Chain A
C-alpha cells in the first residue's frame, strides 16, 4: 500500500507570496493532519480534517488555511508569507473514526514539504 505523499518536496518563495501544499493520504484513510516543524518551535499541530471538515485547529494565524477534498486529499495554503514560515510541513493520515470521537488510530506521516521563504 502506498504511503502518504506530499508535493512539492521543496519550495522557495519570497515574503508576501502565497503557497499551496498538497497531501495525498494512504488509500482508505479519511483523516489528514498538518504539522509545522522548525528547529526553534519543534513540531506544532496546524489542523486536522476528516471527511472534508476541519475537526481541529492549532494556534496559528488565519494566514494558514486548509481544505480536504472528497477523495481525502488535502491542501494547505499559507498567504502573505513571512520569513518565520520557513519550515518543514508534514502531513499525516489515519483511518480515524467518527467525527467527534477520540481517535486511537496511528497517524502515518509523509516525507514533508520543505518551504523556504526568502
Chain B
C-alpha cells in the first residue's frame, strides 16, 4: 500500500544554518512527490514537486528537495534557515500505479531559532 513517512515530528535549527526535513515513501508505481507548508490557522501552501527529470527540484522561498529513487526519499532542504520558515511541513505522494490519490505524511514541525 502507498504510504509516506516523515520520521521527525519536530526539527530544530538555528537561523542561518542549513535545514533538512526528511520524507520517505512507498508506492507501487512512479511517484509524484510534493512538499507543502502550513502556517498557523492557514491552509497548505505548495512549495515544490517532483514528477520526472532532474532529481534536484527547486521550489518556493529558497527550498529545494532531492529525489532519491534507490532510497525512496524526497528530503526537503534549504541552505540557510530563516525564523519565518518556522511552520508545519507536509510531504505527499500521488501513487500513479494505484489509486492516484494524494497521500500525506504526518507532518514535521520546523522550529528555527534566532
Interface residue ranges of B84-114 to A (CB < 8 Å): 90, 94, 96, 99-107
Question: What residues of A have a CB within 8 angstroms of the CB of B90 in the complex?
Answer: 43
- Given A90-B43, A109-B36, A110-B43, are A42 and B100 neighbors across the interface (CB < 8 Å)? no
A58 within 8 Å of B (CB atoms): yes
Interface residue ranges of B10-69 to A (CB < 8 Å): 32, 34, 36, 41-46, 49, 51
Q: How many of A's residues come within 8 Å of B, CB to CB?
A: 22
Question: What residues of A have a CB within 8 angstroms of the CB of B44 in the complex?
Answer: 90, 92, 109
Instruction: Let me know if B99 and A56 touch, CB within 8 A.
Output: yes
Proximity string of chain A (35-47) to chain B, C-beta cutoff 8 Å, 1 when within and 0 when not: 1000000111100
Interface residue ranges of A94-118 to B (CB < 8 Å): 102-104, 106-112
Partner of A111, one of B42, B101, B106: B42
CA distance A98 to B34 in the complex (A): 21
DSSP majority for the A interface? Answer: strand
CA distance A70 to B61 in the complex (A): 35
Instruction: Let me know if B100 and A45 touch, CB within 8 A.
Output: no
Partner of A56, one of B100, B104, B107: B100
CA distance A108 to B90 in the complex (A): 14
**Nearest Cβ in chain A — how far from B76, in angstroms?**
16
Question: What residues of B have a CB within 8 angstroms of the CB of A108 in the complex?
Answer: 46
Instruction: Let me know if B94 and A45 touch, CB within 8 A.
Output: no
**Nearest Cβ in chain A — how far from B68, in angstroms?**
20
A-B contact pairs, 13 of them (CB 8 A): A42-B104, A42-B105, A42-B106, A43-B104, A43-B107, A90-B43, A92-B44, A107-B34, A107-B46, A109-B36, A109-B46, A111-B41, A112-B42
**Chain A contacts to B: CB under 8 angstroms:** 4, 33, 35, 42-45, 48, 56, 58, 90, 92, 102-104, 106-112
Give the top 10 A-B pairs by smallest Cβ distance, nearest first.
A43-B104, A109-B43, A109-B44, A102-B96, A111-B43, A104-B51, A42-B106, A45-B101, A112-B43, A106-B46
